[in-house]
Amino acid sequence: EDKVVQSPLSLVVHEGDTVTLNCSYEVTNFRSLLWYKQEKKAPTFLFMLTSSGIEKKSGRLSSILDKKELFSILNITATQTGDSAIYLCAPSSAGYGNKLVFGAGTILRVKS
């Protein structure tokens, strides 16, 4: 059975702090790993990682994938209150439907 575990479940930090969010997975026919940010409504896409060791960056956010150890991390530096959200990790399974398997998410709250 496919399994995705995110940690921590929630955390509270102050503006300017750096945070690291973790995602470990066991997915049949793994293809890629996606990170989404969810504020009040729909999840919005952040990154797609397909190769190990290649860091993807977008401003203050960066992410890396380890396909051997089956985990990914999402780093956020110099956090801002606008980073407060649920961060969802979703490995994709190759095959019919290109399905995503979502973790429960990490709830991040950034205090000013």
Which residues lie near another protein (CB under 8 A)?
A: 4, 9, 31-32, 34, 41-45, 48, 50, 88, 90, 92, 96-100, 102-105
Provide the minimum distance between the beta carbon of 74 and another protein in the complex, in angstroms, as a whole number. 15
d(CA 86, CA 67): 24
Residue 33 or 76 with smaller CB distance to another protein: 33
Q: Cis peptide before 8, with omega less than 30 degrees from 0?
A: yes
What does residue 83 show for φ and ψ, rounded to 5 degrees? -80, -10
Provide the minimum distance between the beta carbon of 83 and another protein in the complex, in angstroms, as a whole number. 19
